[in-house]
Amino acid sequence: MIFFSMGYWVIALALIVSFAGAACGLACVRQSTKSVTQKFRLVWLFVAAMSIGGVGVAMPVFISMLGFDVKGTQLRYDNLSITLFSVLAAATVFVAMIVNGKRLVWWRLLIAAGVMAFGFGDVHQLLLSSIRIQGTVDRSLVSAVAVYVIAFVLAALTLWFSLWVSSVPLVLLGGLVYAILVTGMHYAGLTGLQVHVDPTQPAPHGNVLFNFFVPLFIIGTLSLAIPITAILVAPDRRETRAPGTAAAPPPALHGTSLQAASQQAAAQGGRRPESVR
């Protein structure tokens, strides 16, 4: 097996894409905490799940597989597995964020991290099971367990971090850690593959990975434009008043006008206006 048949730029691109998706998703989670209604909060979380799960996990894993090759056989991928792989990554992040809530509750965080970890682990196993060669492909139990362990650490840190991230530097730091863990999870599972090539077997069914990559990369890249635009045009609610308190500007202006009027009346010394005859 060859992991970098196209060069090491593949893993660099995977890290960059994962970082961009995670950072954008965490920024969307930050915006969801400022939403006035539950409806808009769910919209922000949905967009965040698309960025964190779809762009942050599915795309970098997919990009890394471009460098994977097996000598002596054709390499194909199952169509249905690739489709489910792309959808499941974002769906599990969305469910996990809803379970996690807006405040830190440890039992909810652990349940949400478990949901997200099993989703990421299943996504990775689904991708590996889609590999078709002239022969058989086996997976190591140790590497499979390692994938789920790393996925749980990744999920717990992401969900915990999303609850208190409040600045751009923290968002970028979270995206960097996320990208490193996603890449580590992928290669932990990939190194556990065991292929047995048999040239006498017929050519495998399925599609070349690059046929999936082009539309997936285009859709994923364009999908980042939606949350980025939404973040840029979203109003800054950092200075919104607390519930139950009166708005400061109107009373201030009203009070100032009354004070000015009373001072003017006092300056006139109680004089009555002359009548016009």
Dump pLDDT digits (tens) for 13-57.
Answer: 899 999 999 998 888 888 887 776 788 788 888 888 888 988 888
Question: Which residue's structure tokens are 């717990």?
Answer: 156
Query: By percentage, how much of the chain surpasses pLDDT 70?
Result: 83
**Span 137-145, average pLDDT:** 89
**Span 83-112, average pLDDT:** 88
Residue type, 226: I
Query: In the chain, how long is the greatest CA-to-CA distance?
Result: 119
- Give pLDDT, residue 248: 46
Residue type, 124: H
Give me 120's structure tokens: 């990421």
- Give pLDDT, residue 19: 93
Dump pLDDT digits (tens) for 50-69.
Answer: 889 888 888 888 888 888 88
Residue 241: pLDDT above 70?
no
**Span 97-117, average pLDDT:** 91
Dump pLDDT digits (tens) for 146-180.
Answer: 999 999 999 999 999 888 877 888 888 989 999 99
User: Which range is least confidently modeled, 2-16, 24-38, 86-100, 131-145?
Assistant: 24-38
Question: E strands along 88-214, which residues?
Answer: 131-132, 135-139, 193-197
Given a contact cutoff of 8 angstroms between Cβ atoms, the answer to whether 44 and 27 are in contact is no
Given a contact cutoff of 8 angstroms between Cβ atoms, the answer to whether 59 and 25 are in contact is no
- Give pLDDT, residue 103: 85
Label residue 245 by pLDDT band (50, 70, 90).
very low
**Span 192-210, average pLDDT:** 83
The length of the chain is 277
Q: Which helix (H) or strand (E) holds 76?
A: strand 76-77
SS3 233: helix
Q: Compute the Cα dihedral for 118, 123, 125, 129 and give only its sign.
A: positive
Given a contact cutoff of 8 angstroms between Cβ atoms, the answer to whether 64 and 123 are in contact is no
